[in-house]
Amino acid sequence: EVQLLESGGGLVQPGGSLRLSCAASGFSFSSYAMHWVRQAPGKGLEWVSGISRSGGSPYYADSVKGRLTISRDNSKNTLYLQMNTLRAEDTALYYCASDPVDTSMLLRGYFDSWGPGTLVTVSS
């Protein structure tokens, strides 16, 4: 059974940092591109970042570029999101999602499995 489990969320002050993790099991992690998608309280879905299966091609939404860094460790079946210089508008439930389509610029794919999410709250 495919399982994705996020961790690392919590309450952080504006300007602070957090590192999210997503542990994957039940599928060949290194064969999938991976993404982070967030959902602010009561709002819709927003794609945040994606990374190729090799880890060599990360992409970001403009709203997080330069502050958030996606990475992966295929030997540990784990996806990461390093979050720096956090702002109130980063407050959201952060989901990791797998994508079976690994193409240039991570195009043409879809999010076939999702974790339950981890909540990040940025507030003083």
Partner 1 sequence: DIQMTQSPSSLSASVGDRVTITCRANQNIIKYLNWYQQKPGKAPKLLIYAASSLQSGVPSRFSGRGSDTDFTLTISSLQPEDIATYYCQQSYSTPRTFGQGTKVDIK
Q: Cβ of residue 75: shortest distance to partner 1, in angstroms?
A: 26
Q: Cβ of residue 92: shortest distance to partner 1, in angstroms?
A: 13
Whichever of 62 and 124 has its CB closer to partner 1, that residue is 62
Q: Give me the residues that bind partner 1 (CB under 8 A), please.
A: 35, 37, 44-47, 50, 59, 61-62, 95, 101, 105-117
- How far apart (Å, rounded) are the C-alpha atoms in residues 2 and 25? 6
Q: Cβ of residue 99: shortest distance to partner 1, in angstroms?
A: 9
Report phi then psi at 59, rounded to 5.
-135, 150
Whichever of 5 and 16 has its CB closer to partner 1, that residue is 5
Beta bridge partners of 33: 99
Whichever of 23 and 45 has its CB closer to partner 1, that residue is 45
